């Protein structure tokens, strides 16, 4: 049978008497339109001669808002090439294979350029390119055009040339060598073989020098454990496609855990095939993407997670080390043991003993998903070395400190202490893209290029080698750290020449540059050494929960905070909380009630909340806003790293509090106390906006048992309607005459709810491809965000709508009824989660098209719903008539407007704009176009080459960005295409199918194991 769970987007919806929810359901535009301001004085209007525009003003108040907009878009002069570069054809995109490696994110990518400008990131799908772009990588192209970048080197805060800075650095290194002072290179994890060689050469010529690797978000405990067992300081790699049972203890492996990039393999096992799919248990404190995707999620404190890990260790290895017992942990452990080599366990606890047990359990299972041969060469930071560096700096033992790709003044918990210690260093040098917190207090700040302006090489995992190549000439007077190393070691080569000279492999250099990545010789697994696993388990078994645990994590949007000045990422709604432009403390309802903390919704759908002060080891973090998060483990609170930056940031992006100040000993778990503060915080939370609730065919869900044993008609119900007093399928009834759509191309988009992890890469890719404007926190709060694609997050509990009705009917008396209803408004302590990407559904019978008075929106024979922006007069009838709430209204001109000081407000930021897509002006509607510019380009390319379009060649920005395979786009008339096959799948259904819009976007029923 089909699932009849009660789904809810916001806690407010559990209150069936909420006037706010009812208002938002019936009112697309929650802000009252100031018509008097638009129309002016009534007496003046009465005496004026009526023009066409005046007539539109009189017609209706909805037209009035649009009438204020100028009909003409902005005009810009263009300057032709004097000598056109032969590799650039105007109007035709070029693609360059490169690799991003910023110390936190690593990916093999293609960069789309137009007339020499990088404008979009895409995934490199060549064999061997295993790391794909997440939301931050897609947004990194905008960081290239950050107007706050360091444009030249600085000495003591004043502009200087590289030659001047280099002379001082060389002199300081020589002086340190003569006096026996320490020279320290402090860098992030470059994962670059050539950089490692250059650093080794520098250390060889300077015996007094030392290299320390520092990552803002540490994986040092996992590295230490792996080194203890396998003799190599590296991280194991995991292929979740090979696992039938997955157990995660505190590891958000669909997020940023140990470098991320696991979603593709994970999704392969989550799509039911031949009646089978993987089973996923998640034990965690914060609600994460991995917890949201799990079949069974158990919220628990980190101390209890350690106990759970010991319990699983006992089950797998047959040990009998004392630990607390948990029924669900027992079930997970037994299924993991039964799965044997088809099982895998991962853990995100920052504790060497916990990480040792992970290795022991996977070795005992002989897990096929656990790869210790092709290890990950990322997140190489060493906690002990960083602590020793600070001690040496305080004592004055460090003569010269050279930093690259790090910002310790911001990201260390004792950042102020580090800044003060810099004064005891004779020469401090920061290679940085921006004059950040560390560069601002260093003696010399050297401007470095963006990775899209740089050469380099990267080996993310053993057995693969990738190149980074420039896609544009350096925009500013910048110097690569590698070129500086060459200079300091007396090598006169340019870094490019050094790279090319050192390459020797199966591919030629030109082929390597073209492909971007190559698989090198095979790697054999190293023999595992012995370790005291039982001792590690005994230590973990003694873990005891504190009164309240703070669990620090990184958000899908900002990560470690390197791109905090990127407006695309700031405006990206968090997949779980759906809040943007903020970080906040997440807390359970039970703990919030105890502390007097509240959240409440206001009339326009905005979310407000209380403030608290956090105290960790005497360090206070004040004015931290709080979101009550269903699924947060009792006794824990969560806070995101990466916020609270001030240096080299636009004012609009200086949001949130700096959680790194509480990141003591590089542990993501801290004992904390909280105290409520006065005041209320206004969140930019989109959760109550554009709701589709109240209909039964939004999210369809069933269990694997029912999926395998029942007919699809029982778990994928077709909505029925009455026709001639008979119940018939809604899909067979039509108000409109249809035409033959089997001729030519007809585009469909498939979205599999089982594969979607809510990662948001599609949202940022859509931003980049379609010039979607950023509107800022205030406008997002007003329900005016401009995202063409949103990822709705739904919670569900085991209760059903029928169950609620029986509960209400079973109450006895007034007081019992009141108590019952209040209890039903309390959200589940551990709700199940479903993500659903929603964009324009491109309905074949589109409600928007019939109500547009000027035919600005119309349907194409290829299935796309078009928007003619220069026809639109902004009546917004289409938005009101759209049941999917996917249309956006330009309340303002966001391009070149000082009120919206984001990338579209300066010439440098506008370099990212896609010339194939119009920049919309004020007063018009816009929405997903199913990337018509991409589909037409594919058709024209095939026509020019005299061939048919290949299967899988059609793509949209979102389908191209989706690494989990959740989104598949193509021509449904091509019966060999993947999308045509998926359209016939028994899990396929349309959103709100009963209203007869006949969308060209379809979904697949979510199956839980």
User: Quick one: angle between helices 383-395 and 220-230, nearest 10?
Assistant: 120
Q: Is 625 helix (H, G, I), strand (E, B) or coil?
A: strand
Chain centroid to Cα 644, Å, comes to: 19
Mean pLDDT of 222-244: 93
Alpha helices in 11-105 (DSSP H): 19-26, 35-39, 42-47, 52-59, 61-67
The pLDDT value recorded for residue 605 is 73
As a residue count, the chain comes to 1009
Question: Is the dihedral angle over the CA atoms 345, 346, 349, 354 positive or is it negative?
Answer: positive
| pTM of the predicted protein model | 0.90
User: Quick one: angle between helices 761-770 and 135-144, nearest 10?
Assistant: 30
Tens of pLDDT, residue by residue over 941-990, are 999 999 999 888 999 999 999 999 999 999 999 998 999 999 999 999 99
Check if the beta carbon of residue 719 is closer than 8 Å to that of residue 813.
no
Q: 462 vs 822, which has greater pLDDT?
A: 462
Confidence band, pLDDT 50/70/90 cuts, at residue 67: very low
Residue 75 structure tokens? 């005009």
The pLDDT value recorded for residue 811 is 61
Number of neighbouring beta carbons within 10 Å of residue 37: 10
- Going by C-alpha positions, the residue among 857, 829, 822 that lies closest to residue 927 is 857
Mean pLDDT of 715-739: 83
Check if the beta carbon of residue 148 is closer than 8 Å to that of residue 648.
yes
Angle (CA) 18-22-27 rounded to 5° is 145
The Cα 538–Cα 250 span in angstroms is: 19
pLDDT of residue 132 exceeding 60, the answer is: yes
Report CA-CA distances (Å) from 860 to 741, 744, 842, 927: 10, 11, 10, 15
Confidence band, pLDDT 50/70/90 cuts, at residue 726: confident
Tens of pLDDT, residue by residue over 446-494, are 999 999 999 999 999 998 999 999 999 999 999 999 999 999 999 999 9
SS in 3 state form for 688-757?
Answer: CCCCCCCCCCCCCEEEHHHHHHCCHHHHCCCCEEEECCEEEEHHHCCCCCCCCCCCCCCEEEEEECCCCC
Report the chain's mean pLDDT, rounded to a whole number: 87
Helix-, strand-, coil-residue percentages of the chain, each rounded to 5: 35, 20, 45
Q: Flag the least confident range among 110-119, 166-175, 310-319, 812-821.
A: 812-821
C-alpha dihedral, 380 to 383 to 386 to 391, nearest 10°: -160
Mean pLDDT of 839-844: 93
Mean pLDDT of 624-636: 93
Number of neighbouring beta carbons within 10 Å of residue 880: 16
Report which secondary-structure segment, H or E, holds 170. helix 162-179
The backbone torsions φ and ψ at residue 839, rounded to the nearest 5 degrees and listed phi first, read: -135, -175
Mean pLDDT of 858-881: 91
The Cα 798–Cα 770 span in angstroms is: 40
The Cα 223–Cα 238 span in angstroms is: 15
The Cα 536–Cα 623 span in angstroms is: 39
Pairing between β-strand 398-404 and β-strand 182-187 as defined by DSSP bridges? parallel
Residue 687 structure tokens? 């959760």
Tens of pLDDT, residue by residue over 327-380, are 999 999 999 999 999 999 999 999 999 999 999 999 999 999 999 999 999 999
Confidence band, pLDDT 50/70/90 cuts, at residue 72: very low
The Cα 880–Cα 858 span in angstroms is: 16
The pLDDT value recorded for residue 69 is 39
The backbone torsions φ and ψ at residue 155, rounded to the nearest 5 degrees and listed phi first, read: -120, 120
Residue 772 structure tokens? 């979607």
Q: Is 513 helix (H, G, I), strand (E, B) or coil?
A: helix
pLDDT of residue 43 exceeding 90, the answer is: no
Tens of pLDDT, residue by residue over 553-575, are 999 999 999 999 999 999 999 99
Angle (CA) 947-951-957 rounded to 5° is 105
- Going by C-alpha positions, the residue among 134, 214, 255 that lies closest to residue 552 is 255
Residue 265 structure tokens? 């393999």
The Cα 316–Cα 361 span in angstroms is: 7
The Cα 419–Cα 426 span in angstroms is: 13
The Cα 106–Cα 692 span in angstroms is: 37
Chain centroid to Cα 63, Å, comes to: 37
Burial 774-807 (b: 16+ CB within 10 A, else e): bbbbebbbbbbbbbbbbbbbbbbbeeeeeebeee
Residue 762 structure tokens? 């599609």
Report which secondary-structure segment, H or E, holds 117. strand 117-123
Tens of pLDDT, residue by residue over 636-687, are 999 999 999 999 999 999 999 999 999 999 999 999 999 999 999 999 988 7
The Cα 14–Cα 826 span in angstroms is: 7
Tens of pLDDT, residue by residue over 878-918, are 998 998 889 999 999 999 888 898 999 989 999 999 999 99
| Span between the terminal Cα atoms of the chain, in Å | 15
Number of neighbouring beta carbons within 10 Å of residue 693: 17
Radius of gyration of the chain (CA): 29
Mean pLDDT of 872-881: 90
Q: 292 vs 57, which has greater pLDDT?
A: 292
Token pair 């039938």 is found at 244
Could you please report the per-residue DSSP string of 182-240? EEEEEE-----HHHHHHHHHHHHH-TTEEEEE--SS--HHHHHHHHHHHSSS-EEEE-G
The Cα 989–Cα 736 span in angstroms is: 21
Which segments within 592-719 are labelled E, that is strand? 599-601, 607-616, 619-628, 636-641, 669-671, 673-685, 701-703
The Cα 194–Cα 893 span in angstroms is: 47
The pLDDT value recorded for residue 17 is 66
Q: Give Cβ neighbours of residue 163 (< 8 Å, ≥ 6 apart).
A: none
Number of neighbouring beta carbons within 10 Å of residue 256: 25
**Backbone dihedral region of 304: left (phi > 0), alpha (psi from -120 to 50 degrees) or beta?**
alpha
pLDDT of residue 552 exceeding 80, the answer is: yes
User: How much of the chain exceeds pLDDT 70, in percent?
Assistant: 88
Tens of pLDDT, residue by residue over 178-222, are 998 999 999 999 899 999 999 999 999 999 999 999 999 999 999
Confidence band, pLDDT 50/70/90 cuts, at residue 53: very low
- Going by C-alpha positions, the residue among 765, 833, 794 that lies closest to residue 969 is 765
């Amino acid at each position: 049978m089909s699932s009849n769970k009660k789904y809810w987007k916001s806690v407010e919806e559990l209150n069936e008497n909420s006037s706010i929810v009812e208002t938002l359901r019936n009112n697309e535009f929650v802000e009252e339109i100031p018509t008097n301001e638009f129309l002016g004085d009534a007496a003046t209007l009465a005496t004026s001669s009526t023009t066409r525009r005046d007539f539109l003003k009189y017609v209706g108040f909805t037209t009035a808002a649009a009438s204020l907009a100028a009909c003409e878009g902005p005009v810009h002069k263009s300057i032709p090439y004097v000598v056109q570069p032969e590799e650039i054809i105007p109007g035709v995109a070029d693609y360059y294979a490169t690799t991003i490696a910023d110390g936190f994110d690593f990916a093999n990518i293609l960069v789309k350029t137009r007339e020499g400008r990088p404008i979009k990131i895409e995934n490199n799908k060549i064999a061997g390119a295993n790391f794909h772009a997440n939301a931050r990588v897609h947004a990194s192209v905008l960081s290239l055009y950050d107007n706050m970048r360091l444009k030249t080197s600085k000495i003591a805060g004043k502009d200087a040339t590289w030659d001047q800075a280099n002379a001082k650095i060389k002199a300081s290194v020589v002086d340190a060598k003569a006096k026996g002072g320490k020279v320290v290179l402090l860098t992030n994890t470059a994962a670059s073989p050539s950089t490692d060689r250059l650093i080794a050469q520098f250390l060889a010529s300077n015996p007094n020098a030392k290299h320390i690797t520092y990552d803002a978000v540490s994986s040092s405990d996992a590295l230490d454990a792996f080194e203890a067992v396998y003799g190599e300081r590296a991280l194991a790699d995991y292929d979740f496609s090979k696992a039938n049972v997955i157990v995660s203890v505190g590891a958000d492996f669909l997020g940023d855990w140990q470098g991320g990039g696991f979603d593709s393999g994970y999704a392969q096992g989550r799509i039911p095939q031949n009646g089978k799919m993987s089973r996923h248990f998640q034990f965690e404190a914060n609600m994460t993407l991995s917890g949201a995707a799990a079949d069974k999620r158990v919220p628990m404190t980190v101390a209890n997670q350690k106990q759970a890990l010991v319990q699983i260790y006992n089950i797998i290895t047959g040990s009998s080390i004392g630990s607390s017992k948990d029924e669900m942990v027992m079930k997970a452990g037994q299924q993991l043991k039964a799965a044997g080599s088809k099982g895998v366990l991962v853990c995100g606890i920052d504790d060497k003993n916990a990480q040792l047990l992970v290795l022991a359990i996977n070795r005992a299972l002989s897990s096929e998903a656990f790869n210790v041969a092709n290890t990950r060469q990322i997140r190489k930071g060493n906690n002990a070395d960083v602590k020793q560096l600070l001690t040496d700096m305080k004592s004055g033992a460090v003569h010269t400190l050279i930093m690259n790709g790090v910002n310790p003044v911001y990201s260390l918990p004792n950042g102020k202490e580090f800044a003060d210690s810099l004064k005891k260093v004779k020469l401090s040098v920061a290679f940085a893209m921006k004059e950040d917190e560390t560069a601002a207090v260093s003696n010399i700040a050297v401007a470095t290029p963006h990775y899209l302006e740089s050469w380099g090489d990267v080996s993310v995992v053993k057995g693969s080698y990738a190149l980074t190549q420039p896609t544009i000439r350096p925009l500013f007077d910048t110097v690569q750290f590698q070129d500086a190393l060459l200079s300091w070691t007396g090598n006169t080569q340019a870094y490019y020449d050094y790279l090319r000279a050192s390459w020797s492999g199966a591919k030629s250099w030109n082929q390597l540059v073209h492909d971007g990545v190559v698989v090198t010789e095979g790697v054999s697994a190293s023999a595992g050494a012995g370790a005291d696993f039982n001792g590690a388990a005994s230590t973990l078994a003694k873990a005891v929960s504190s009164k309240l645990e703070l669990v620090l994590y990184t958000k899908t949007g900002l990560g470690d905070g390197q791109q905090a000045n990127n407006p695309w990422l700031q405006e990206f709604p968090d997949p779980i909380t759906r809040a943007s432009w903020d970080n906040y403390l997440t807390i359970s309802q039970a703990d919030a009630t105890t502390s007097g903390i509240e959240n409440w919704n206001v009339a326009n759908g905005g979310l407000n909340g209380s403030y608290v002060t956090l105290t960790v080891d005497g360090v206070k973090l004040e004015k931290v806003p709080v979101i009550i998060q269903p699924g947060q483990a009792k006794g824990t609170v969560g806070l995101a790293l990466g916020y609270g930056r001030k240096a080299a940031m636009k004012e609009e992006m200086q949001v949130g509090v700096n959680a790194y100040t509480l990141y003591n000993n590089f542990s993501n778990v801290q004992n904390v106390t909280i105290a409520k503060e006065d005041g209320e915080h206004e969140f930019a939370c989109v959760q109550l906006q554009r709701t589709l609730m109240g209909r039964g065919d939004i999210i369809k869900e069933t269990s694997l048992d029912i999926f395998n044993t029942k007919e699809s008609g029982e778990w994928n119900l077709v909505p029925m309607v009455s026709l001639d007093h008979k119940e018939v399928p809604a899909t067979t009834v039509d108000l409109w005459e249809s035409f033959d759509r089997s001729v030519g191309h007809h585009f469909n988009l498939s979205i599999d709810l089982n594969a979607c992890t809510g990662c948001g890469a599609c949202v940022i890719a859509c931003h980049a491809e379609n010039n979607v404007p950023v509107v800022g926190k205030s406008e997002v709060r007003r329900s005016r965000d401009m995202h063409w694609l949103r990822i709705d997050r739904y919670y569900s509990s085991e209760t059903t709508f029928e169950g609620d009705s029986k509960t209400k009917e079973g109450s006895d008396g007034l007081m019992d009824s009141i108590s019952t209803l209040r209890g039903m408004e309390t959200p589940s302590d551990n709700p199940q989660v479903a993500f659903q990407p929603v964009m324009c559904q491109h309905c074949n019978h589109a409600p928007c098209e019939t109500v547009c008075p000027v035919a600005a929106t119309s349907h194409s024979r290829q299935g796309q719903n078009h928007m003619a922006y220069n026809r639109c007069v902004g009546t917004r009838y289409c938005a009101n008539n759209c049941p999917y709430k996917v249309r956006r209204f330009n309340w303002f001109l966001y391009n070149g407007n000082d009120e919206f000081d984001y990338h579209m407000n300066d010439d440098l930021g506008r370099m990212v704009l896609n010339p194939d897509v119009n920049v919309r002006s004020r007063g018009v509607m816009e929405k997903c176009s199913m990337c018509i510019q991409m589909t037409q380009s594919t058709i024209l390319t095939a026509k020019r080459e005299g061939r048919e379009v290949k299967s899988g060649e059609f793509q949209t920005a979102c389908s191209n960005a989706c690494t989990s395979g959740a989104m598949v786009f193509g021509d449904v008339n091509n019966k060999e295409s993947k999308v045509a096959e998926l359209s016939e799948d028994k899990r396929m259904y349309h959103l709100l199918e009963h209203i007869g819009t006949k969308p060209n976007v379809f979904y697949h029923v979510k199956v839980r194991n």
